[in-house]
Structure 1
Amino acid sequence: MINSHVQVPIIDINALVSQTSKSYSVMAEQIRQACQDYGFFYIVGHGVDEQLQKQLENLSQQFFAQDEDTKLQIRMSLGGKAWRGYFPVGNELTSGKPDLKEGIYFGAELEDNHPLVKAGTLMHGRNLFPSNIPQLRETVLEYMHLMTQLGHRLMAGIALSLGLEESYFADRYTQDPLILFRIFNYPPNSSSQSQWGVGEHTDYGVLTILKQDNIGGLQVKSKSGWIDAPPIPNSFVCNIGDMLDRMTQGLYRSTPHRVRNLSTSNRLSFPFFFDPNFNVEVKPIELNNVVVNDDKSDRWDKASVHEFSGTYGDYLLNKVSKVFPELPQTVL
């Protein structure tokens, strides 16, 4: 049952992006309210070039329209430890069930001589790009660059919303963030396909910035039940992940969400994950008047983010190995 009367808040972040005003108090309060009540919010006034976004959509459609053999030329098993490349429909699992989507995994483009790559650190390295669509490479890299800048500004806004100094997260966790980017394609719906494009889940890091196409299908689990988060022109949907939930001791909850493509068209989705540095240990923030509630029984995976200890990389690899159970055996 979908509650159509509740809507995810929309926040104009122009002042934060342009850094023209130090009077961020209204916007910080809007972010605080949205994070506490929903864990999700739309942003407008973000300054990311619309033409670049359109080009990203067009090139992605071009890639997914190809036959599977052609797409498999950049399959994930060829990405090795960098954990990059294409996966076909049904190869990614959520809560042990195959998702009805295909996609390409990207991340920060790192040369072979980068210290983390030389050390064999998982999820770091070069991306795989299709040689027959050369423009996709430059478009994805430019988009990731702009979204990384946007992620830094949004984390400054989230810090202000918690009453912290603007550079709180950059100083401790995200000066050199783990950047992961996905392009997903959800096949058209048919009567024989009743399963979810992606089942109920939370994201793992601190912040997800999602570009949607105009099809829709994203649903968010609010306090009053499931609600739709439909596309809004030239906006992004932001949601907080498990590590921000952990840092804020549950004040900002990582909210479950899911996707079902009800359209007879393909649905494209572009989630960008702005996460803590892979090797950093994520610790709770000292916040006034915050009581930690054990969220284990509420969570989709019955695992408390507050009981975890270790680096963000430890947490992430544990989660990702369940999404692609066969892949770790090929790269570890």
Structure 2
Amino acid sequence: MSQLPVIDVAPLLAEGPLPLHGPNLFPAQVPELREAVLEYLDTMTALAQSVMSGIALSLGLDEGYFRTGYTADPTVLFRIFHYPPAPPDDPDTWGVGEHTDYGLLTLLLQDANGGLQVRTPRGWIEAPPLENTFVCNIGDMLDKLTGGHYRSTPHRVLNRSGNERLSFPFFFDPGWDSEVPPLPYASGHRWDGQVDFTGTYGEYLLSKVSKVFPRLFETL
């Protein structure tokens, strides 16, 4: 099992508590990490907006379609995860099991140790780290918005490197209060027959998280 993330950076609140919102958490032992992470968040937000502009163009939409709508005030989350090496007597101990990400887009920076695997129509393949690159994961929400033209990416981690592994996922999602109807051409054309979600992104995210961590919502 992977240890808890070193830091967990979530959106800060202007007023009033919201589910899944709270102050950023930084380790006191590394005071310089705060400034570095906040600068990284700004850089990655700009990069993610650029990627979404490219996706918009690929769908025949205006370049600013997402930037001026769904992601005008995005929900962002950044984590640093530590994966110990798989025990020699149990090399199939997963750092994290198969899953897909909930939102629009994940931009993942990983260290040189590898371990990330992605499921394709041909089966599981390794996603080895390439210097000066990010892994771009499509999330469930982008899958839903595009009617399956962009499909969310099942992935998992098995650290067989024998070394400590660090990964740095940046999650980029619609604004918490943003309505998230499917794109105009996508409605009614789901490739898998699923029903389109209607409502805000916050409602969608809560519905996802509550299935995995039901006790978090017992007092809400």
TM-score over 0.5 (shorter chain)? yes
In the alignment, which residue of structure 1 is the partner of 2:52?
A: 155
In the alignment, which residue of structure 2 is the partner of 1:212?
A: 110
> Would the aligned equivalents of 2:182 and 2:196 in 1 still touch at CA under 8 Å?
no
> Would the aligned equivalents of 1:198 and 1:258 in 2 still touch at CA under 8 Å?
yes
Query: SS at 2:179's partner residue?
Result: coil
Matched, 1:227 2:125: yes
In the alignment, which residue of structure 2 is the partner of 1:106?
A: 9
CA deviations on 1:50-85 (whole Å, 9 max, x unpaired) are: xxxxxxxxxxxxxxxxxxxxxxxxxxxxxxxxxxxx
Counterparts of 2:81 and 2:184, CA distance in 1: 37
In the alignment, which residue of structure 1 is the partner of 2:172?
A: 274
CA shift at 1:317, angstroms?
A: 1.7
Counterparts of 1:310 and 1:186, CA distance in 2: 36
Are residues 322 and 268 of structure 1, via their aligned partners in 2, closer, same or farther at CA, if it must alter by over 3 Å? farther
Pairing partner for 1:189 from 72, 77, 86: 86
Pairing partner for 1:260 from 154, 158, 164: 158
In the alignment, which residue of structure 1 is the partner of 2:145?
A: 247
Counterparts of 1:307 and 1:162, CA distance in 2: 18
Query: SS at 2:80's partner residue?
Result: strand
Counterparts of 1:230 and 1:291, CA distance in 2: 34
Normalising by structure 2, we get a TM-score of 0.90
In the alignment, which residue of structure 2 is the partner of 1:294?
A: 192
Unaligned runs of 5+ in 2: none
User: How many equivalent pairs are there?
Assistant: 218
In the alignment, which residue of structure 2 is the partner of 1:44?
A: none
Counterparts of 2:19 and 2:131, CA distance in 1: 36
In the alignment, which residue of structure 1 is the partner of 2:207?
A: 318
> Would the aligned equivalents of 1:179 and 1:274 in 2 still touch at CA under 8 Å?
yes
Normalising by structure 1, we get a TM-score of 0.61
CA deviations on 1:80-131 (whole Å, 9 max, x unpaired) are: xxxxxxxxxxxxxxxxxxx5342132123x36xx1xxx23212334212122
Unaligned runs of 5+ in 1: 1-98, 296-303
Larger Rg: 1
Counterparts of 2:208 and 2:94, CA distance in 1: 19
In the alignment, which residue of structure 2 is the partner of 1:129?
A: 26
Query: SS at 1:180's partner residue?
Result: strand
> Would the aligned equivalents of 2:181 and 2:199 in 1 still touch at CA under 8 Å?
no
In the alignment, which residue of structure 2 is the partner of 1:55?
A: none
> Would the aligned equivalents of 2:10 and 2:76 in 1 still touch at CA under 8 Å?
yes
In the alignment, residue 215 of structure 1 is paired with which amino acid? N
CA shift at 1:326, angstroms?
A: 4.2
Counterparts of 2:159 and 2:213, CA distance in 1: 22
Identity of matched residues, %:
57
CA shift at 1:325, angstroms?
A: 4.4
Pairing partner for 2:72 from 161, 175, 197: 175
CA shift at 1:287, angstroms?
A: 2.7
> Would the aligned equivalents of 1:220 and 1:255 in 2 still touch at CA under 8 Å?
yes
Q: Which one has a larger percent helix, Structure 1 or Structure 2?
A: 1
CA deviations on 1:186-240 (whole Å, 9 max, x unpaired) are: 0112134422111111111111000000000111111211111100001001111
Deviates more, 1:119-128 or 1:134-143: 119-128
CA deviations on 1:220-266 (whole Å, 9 max, x unpaired) are: 11121111110000100111111111111011111211111112111
Query: SS at 2:156's partner residue?
Result: strand
Are residues 279 and 293 of structure 1, via their aligned partners in 2, closer, same or farther at CA, if it must alter by over 3 Å? same
